[in-house]
Amino acid sequence: MDTIQNSRKVISILVDNKPNTLARISSLVGRRNYNIETITASETHMPGVTLITLVVTDTDPDVLDQIVAHIEKLEPVREVHVMDSTGGLYRELLLLKVIVDKDARSSLVEIAEVYRAKIIDLSRSSMIIELTGEPSKLDGFMDLMSEYELVEVCRTGVTGMNRGM
């Protein structure tokens, strides 16, 4: 199972898309000394409504409850909830640029296949790999990649959705 259950919690926040909303949330998190791992903001199907997803490393229920209670008070916030650990689906996207030589190329292609990652750019000396999945899968992939000479890595941060209705 994925590591979200064990060491992280995902908080999903629906907000009105008003100026400074992301800044208000990150300011609050900073001020209250909560530890966040990632924060993402994205459009939703509702016009003027944005989804902000926070991944926090505090999993103490009292701390989580405090985070939710404080976020709830912000004026542009419509809805906040801590996502279900087991019923939730979480995805993150990773882009990675790695130096390739003849020897490395085939082993990288193999690893990419195992992870169902896509090679989206290939040149004589480098390769860009795209991988989508649960954060734990990305972590595992990164672990293998540590043996190679990496040029650049970026991860989007987690977004998630509860299963069913």
Partner 1 sequence: MLLSGAQIVMEELLAHGVDTVFGYPGGAALDLYDALYEYSDRINNVMTAHEQGASHAADGYARSGGKTGVVIATSGPGATNLVTGIATAWMDSTPLVAITANVASHLIGRDAFQEIYITGITMPITKHNFQVSDASEISDVIRDAFRIAHSGRKGPVLVDITKDATIAKVEYEPRKPMDLPAPLCIDASEAEKVAALINEAQRPLFYCGGGVIASDATDWIRRIAAKADIPVCHSMMGAGVMPHDDPLNLGMVGMHGTVAANRAADECDLLLAVGVRFPDRVALSPKKFAPKAKIVHIDADRSELNKNVKVDMAIRCDILQAMEMLHEGVAEASHPVWMAKLADWKAVCSRDCPEGDGLDPCSLIAKISELSGPDAIYVTDVGQHQMWAAQHVHHNEPKHFITSGGLGTMGFGYGAAIGAKLANPGKRVVHLTGDGSFHMNFNEGCTAAKYKLPIITVLFNNRVLGMVYQWQTQFYGGRYSATEPERLTDFPKLAEALGVKGYAASTLEEFEACYRKALEEEGPVWIDCAIDRHIRVLPMIPGGGTVEDMITE
From residue 95, alpha-carbon distances to 52, 72, 110, 138 in Å are 21, 33, 17, 10
Q: Does 69 interact with partner 1 (rule: CB under 8 A)?
A: yes
DSSP conformation letters of 93-104: EEEEEEE--HHH
Closest approach of partner 1 to the CB of residue 10, in Å: 20
Question: 65-90 b/e with 16+ CB inside 10 Å = b?
Answer: eebeebbeeeebbeebebbebeebeb
Among 38, 66, 85, 156, indicate the residue that binds partner 1 (CB under 8 A): 66
Distance, in Å, from the CA atom of 140 to the CA atom of 110, rounded to the nearest integer, reads 15
Site stretch for partner 1 (CB under 8 A), options 1-9, 71-79, 88-96, 132-140:
71-79
Restricting to residues 1-60, name those near partner 1 by CB under 8 A: 19-20, 23-24, 27-28, 31
Closest approach of partner 1 to the CB of residue 27, in Å: 5
- Total residues at interface with partner 1 (CB under 8 A): 16
State the amino acid at position 6 in one-letter form: N
Residue numbers at the binding site for partner 1 (CB under 8 A): 19-20, 23-24, 27-28, 31, 62, 65-66, 69-70, 72-75
